[in-house]
Structure 1
Amino acid sequence: MIGLIRLGLILALVALVGCSYSDVRTNAHIDNALARAGTHSFAVAVTFRRVREPTGALNTFPNGGVPKVLEHEARVYLVDVGRQTVTLAARIVDFADIPQPKSVRVEGWREDALYFSLFGYGGDARRGDDLSDPRRLIYAVDSSGQLRRLDALPDDLVQERVSGPLGKPPFLRLSKGYRSIDIGIDSRPRVSEDAARFVLDADSGEPRLVIPEET
């Protein structure tokens, strides 16, 4: 009987301090966004992750532990405000195997191609970033969806200016937040509940475009 009690206590202790993980959680945020000059379109760079956070005393010792990453992607969306569409233009699984990925960034347009870059460092999850080993990968995706890896960005990329006097329509001005973008259509963005917005769902990480109805 005493042996069974001891065994029960040991099993309870193992369950208390053992290695375990939380349910799957999605974390998606906007790294940057860039309007296409002379249009009502823009591109959005998104970091998308699905993880299970460590739980239990052993798994979180000594600094909170290391999450189990199930998916880690760089995503680029094309948004057409006039057509009210959001299209996934590019999806780079595992951040192209950059050991310590940091961000994805829309760089601009050239003819019908959109250019973007991924940035991160060497290193690993336990030791952290190796700042002596920066990694930058450059891509272009054209209107047919063909994705190309490049050695460098072109010198003549085009992008909508983001400050200064307002120009002649059509154009967009964007105000970026962590999971949303306020959109100014031929004007500066309005900070209000009825403003046009690009939003990432807090639970799924999926995007949607919110256009207020005209009254």
Structure 2
Amino acid sequence: MIILFLCTNILLCGLYVLMVNMLGAYFKHLHNSIIIYTNKKVYKSYKEIEFIDNLVKEYNDIKTLNPTGADIDLYILRRIRKDYIGHFKYSFIENSSKKVQMLMLVILAIHTILYFIQGSNIVHLGINVGIVLFMVIFAIFTDITAYKSEVMIIVKDYIINQYSLESTTNKLNETNKKLSIENRHLKESLVLKSQTINKQQELIEELEEIVDIDKMYKTNKLNVS
């Protein structure tokens, strides 16, 4: 039984480390995708920015439909929990890592109780304590909860502040482009009208010259007569 507890905790510890690393890699990827998404000079594939791109668009759609009831924190958290890490749902990995932690502590507690009741091998208990202690230290140093909060703050800041500013800037740029095009067309139109007026003026002058010549011809003809 003691060996079973020990082997189980070794396996659970390995599983816990794996799941925490998966969560850490997920948030690192999410963080990098935000950096890539906001950097206009960097080439980005849709796969790299898919999550943040969908997140921004969907949140803005929700905000448009329900401006007062759009809770950004709840929305980001819900979207993260619905996302996948490989073939596994994020919520499954996160919940499982917490359950593994608790299970390891429960096994250690049972092992400790059996040690005092049955007087089992203290070496086995020491190894089990070491495994659980390693798990606790690993959890403290990785601190996935803090990393998760940090990434959520970055995402929230981008959606609320930077994205709004970028959207406004883009709209202003589009408006300026439209105005520039309209001004160019207007200038071209004015130039064409000016050219038309000049041609008409030239034509009028030519007609006036013809009329003057005709008058002179008639006058000369009358004088000759």
Which category of TM-score, normalised to the shorter sequence, fits these structures? under 0.3
TM-score (norm 1): 0.23
- Structure number with the bigger relative contact order (C-alpha 8 A, sep ≥ 6) is 2
Larger Rg over CA atoms: 2
